[in-house]
């Protein structure tokens, strides 16, 4: 009888909101790759795959593993680009040397996790891009998506890379959330923690899309340094329609306070 009374008491407390009912928590760590030779030489990479991690970049990635030691990552999603794959390899090496591994043995490459498509800008120096395209470069730095234009010579199409990237971030979130919901149902696991190893500009779009910010927030909120990592919490995996995340904070290199969902 005593146990029954306690159960009824808890149900009443849940019903009237006195205490919170346990709910599913879906945690995502979004990480940028380590420093590349192109980063060091101020060359625009975009979604091209010519750059590789420097020794410093490898060290940054190994050090960033410390941000994950107190969690259990259930899934990993990565960009197809070599610099992101190299970063994940450094994390795996650190994990193998740890007393308690936290990373699953496999990962899934998603093409939509590639860096922003910069078309004709890719492979050019920052200084040359500033000189040739001052208005678009200013829009790029200031985060003005309607004014940031880049030509794709091969098709003679003028693109709006920031707007395209935000649309792609929305799309890949829906893909990841659908995959995770299915995995959650299959494994009967309540809580899941996901690691995404990708890129700085895409990282901003992923964070912004998750939190309900539009592309005008670019370079204003959540700017990722090399191996910067943001922690995002969702309370709902449904994608019809997809819900915004509950809150976010920096996980690495310097942990920050939680920031709740806001819109722009």
Residue-wise pLDDT tens digits, 96-124 = 999 889 999 999 999 999 999 999 999 99
Phi and psi (nearest 5°) for 62? Answer: -60, -40
Render pLDDT for 168-190 as a digit per residue (tens, 0 to 9). 999 999 999 999 988 887 777 67
Residue with tokens 């040397």: 97
Two tokens at 190? 């309540």
Mean pLDDT of the chain: 90
Average pLDDT over residues 83-97: 98
Positions annotated as catalytic residues are 33, 115
pLDDT digits (tens, 9 = 90+) for 130-144: 999 999 999 999 999
Per the model's pLDDT, the better-predicted residue between 63 and 5 turns out to be 63
At residue 14 the predicted structure's pLDDT band, cuts being 50, 70 and 90, is: very low
Distance CA 94, CA 113 (A): 23
Q: How confident is the model at residue 19 (pLDDT cuts 50, 70, 90)?
A: very low
Q: What is the mean pLDDT of residues 13-25?
A: 52
């Amino acid at each position: 009888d005593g146990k029954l009374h306690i159960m009824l008491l808890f149900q009443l407390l849940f019903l009237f909101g006195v205490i919170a009912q346990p709910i599913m928590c879906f945690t995502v760590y979004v990480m940028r790759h380590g420093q590349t030779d192109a980063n060091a030489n101020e060359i625009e990479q975009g979604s091209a795959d010519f750059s590789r991690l420097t020794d410093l970049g490898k060290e940054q990635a190994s050090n960033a593993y410390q941000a994950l030691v107190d969690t259990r990552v259930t899934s990993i999603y990565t960009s197809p680009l070599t610099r992101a794959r190299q970063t994940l390899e450094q994390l795996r090496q650190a994990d193998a040397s740890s007393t308690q591994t936290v990373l699953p043995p496999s990962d899934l490459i998603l093409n939509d996790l590639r860096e922003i498509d910069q078309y004709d800008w890719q492979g050019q120096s920052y200084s040359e891009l500033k000189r040739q395209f001052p208005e678009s470069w200013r829009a790029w730095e200031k985060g003005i998506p309607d004014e940031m234009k880049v030509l794709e010579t091969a098709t003679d199409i003028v693109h709006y890379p920031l707007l395209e990237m935000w649309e792609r971030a929305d799309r890949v979130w829906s893909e990841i959330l659908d995959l995770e919901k299915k995995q959650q149902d299959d494994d009967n696991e309540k809580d899941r923690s996901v690691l995404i190893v990708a890129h700085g500009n895409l990282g901003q779009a992923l964070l912004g899309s998750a939190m309900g910010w539009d592309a005008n927030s670019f370079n204003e909120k959540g700017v990722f340094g090399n191996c910067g990592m943001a922690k995002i919490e969702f309370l709902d995996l449904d994608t019809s329609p997809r819900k915004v995340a509950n809150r976010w904070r920096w996980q690495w290199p310097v942990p920050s306070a939680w920031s709740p969902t806001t819109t722009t």
